[in-house]
Chain A
Amino acid sequence: MFAITPNTLSTFMNSISKYIVLLSLLLIGIAAFLIIFIENDYYQGISFKIMFIHVPAAWLSLAIFLSMGITSIIGLIFKSPTAFTIARSLSPIGLIMSIIVLVTGSIWGNLTWGAYWVWDARLTSMLILAFIYLGHILLLYSFEHFQKADFAASILAIIGMVNLPIVKFSVDWWTTLHQGSSVLRIGGPSMTNDYLITLLVSFLGIFMLTMYWFSNIFYIIIEKRKIERSKLLND
């Protein structure tokens, strides 16, 4: 990662992005087909099917923050512009993912629990994660020089990583209205295989879509910097 410049990474991702988007559309199509045709849950009925968007978005919002944290550490320690730019382009995707989690979660909650929102540990820590994403983006765009912005935002990303285990394990550490983990838990998944396959296909589809989106944002950031640099040289 230290040897790769932002330019080479941008060119590489741009060259494979059209295959990624095709793959993601294919997977999302299969997932949509599966979601429509699998049986309803015996207890929750059709409303549980919102899980196939809610859970992948939740995994991604955590995974994206973890990658932002790790790239921020690498960026700060090795002064790597590539790592900083990766963190910078991941942050808006993470914010959108956490908003999707909160919105689909409220809809699901209203259908099953009987409340759009409660202040239990899982919901509150997820809201905090969304606010950390927002703060990260605001920090990135509140400095004149992007190097300074990267420094400040990466400190926030590293500190914000403390919230990740709290979001993940809040349902085990405290009593919550939110149900426990169904897939990544001790004792194996607590759902039947057809649901599990649907969930994984849906996750892969949404994951590929975020990768495509990430490569686009990365490309735009790099191209913008090139334009700014050439303007400075011309002046």
Chain B
Amino acid sequence: MHIIKLNKQIKKRFIFLLIIFICFSSSIFLISYSLKDQIAYFVEPTDLKDMNELENKYLRVGGLVKENSLKFIDGSWVFEVIDQNKNSINVIFSKTLPNLVEEKKGIIVEGKFINSTFIAEIVLAKHDENYMPQSAIDKLKEEGKWRGD
């Protein structure tokens, strides 16, 4: 008799906790789903469709620095940011670049489009999740398996 009563109570508490958890997690899910454009830290050049609408709008664009595009002209850095779909934007940045900004490596630029050129105010280097020593890369290059730069 006692055990049956205890089981009932346990069941009640379990259902109570389950309801709390489901309500809370679904509310968090709905909030984050409706705010997904705000939570995303950057957009890719492919996402930028209507250039006229974007003029003078503060945004972050991320991608890779295009090969042979990084140049230092008249005291400012000029380069192209390209994404996987080969869409790119032209960027001008007049401050010091972070150390890890290199061609064919990840980058995030923050600023505005003025006359279809992106005037960056902040530039961040974005590295990926692959870690490798130089010796492993040399070995892969010898075997012809290296697909990076």
Give A residues with C-beta under 8 Å from B: 38-44, 48, 51, 73, 76-78, 111-115, 118-121, 155, 158-159, 161-162, 166, 173-177, 179-182, 185, 190-192, 194-195
Q: How far is the CB of A70 from chain B (nearest CB, A)?
A: 12
- Give the residue of A41, A76, A111, A112 whose beta carbon is less than 8 angstroms from that of B133: A41
List the 4 shortest-distance A-B pairs measured between CB atoms, nearest first: A114-B98, A39-B133, A120-B41, A191-B131
- Whether B137 is near chain A, meaning CB under 8 Å from some CB there, is yes
List the count of A-B residue pairs having beta carbons below 8 Å apart.
113
B20–A114 touching, CB < 8 Å: no
User: Could you tell me the distance between the alpha carbons of A173 and B14 in the complex, rounded to whole angstroms?
Assistant: 30
A232 to chain B, nearest CB (A): 28
B59 at interface (Cβ–Cβ under 8 A)?
no
Chain A residues with CB below 8 A from B62, complex form: 175
Given contacts A42-B133, A159-B20, A175-B43, 15 further A-B contacts (CB under 8 A): A38-B133, A39-B133, A40-B134, A42-B137, A112-B125, A113-B100, A118-B124, A121-B41, A162-B28, A175-B41, A175-B44, A175-B62, A177-B126, A185-B129, A191-B132
Cβ B131 vs Cβ A195 within 8 A? yes
The reply to whether A166 and B28 form a contact with Cβ atoms under 8 Å apart is: yes
Query: Is the CB of B32 closer than 8 A to any CB of chain A?
Result: yes
Docked pose: A195 CA to B32 CA in angstroms = 35
Q: Is the CB of B20 within 8 A of A44?
A: no
Given contacts A78-B10, A114-B125, contact A121 B39 (CB under 8 A): yes
Bits for B94-121, please: 1 = Cβ < 8 Å to A, else 0.
0001111010010010000000000000
CB distance from A173 to the nearest CB of B (A): 8
